[in-house]
Amino acid sequence: MEYPPIRLASKLWIDAHIRACFGKGLPAFVVHKGDVERGGVIIKVDRFDAGILVFERTTTFEGDTVWAKRGPDNGMNAQEAQQIIDKRLKFDSDCWVVEIEDMRSVYHLE
């Protein structure tokens, strides 16, 4: 018998990710709380002068979890990033939004 993959609760993943960011000297904060168990996750990486990156956790047709970059590869300004986030929250208010301050542009999703 084959069992479905175990999915980590959204809040548990976010709490662990925020701790890992702080451990690397990257302040991270929840700016919008979503569903504790199954909420989607958006990561906003503010690289200050280098622009903002927005990532969204999504699932492929094969059931794998991947991070999709939203917006331009070289980053965007705060207004453009907020428009992307607001559009997603309008569609799914159960989504979490985590903001990471990355002045040195060293953040990588793991």
- Other beta carbons less than 10 A from residue 29's beta carbon: 12
Write the pLDDT tens digit of every residue in 89-102.
999 999 999 999 99
Write the pLDDT tens digit of every residue in 60-74.
898 888 999 999 989
CB 70 within 8 A of CB 56: yes
Through-space distance between the first and last CA atoms of the chain, rounded to whole angstroms: 31
- What pLDDT was estimated at residue 4? 66
Residue 52 has, within 13 A of its CA and on its CB side, a CA count of 20
* Backbone phi, psi, residue 43, to 5°: -110, 125
Structural domains in the chain, CATH included, are: 28-35+42-97 (3.40.1530.20)
Average pLDDT, the chain: 93
Give me the DSSP letters along 23-53: HTT--EEEEE---TTT--EEEEEE-GGG-EE
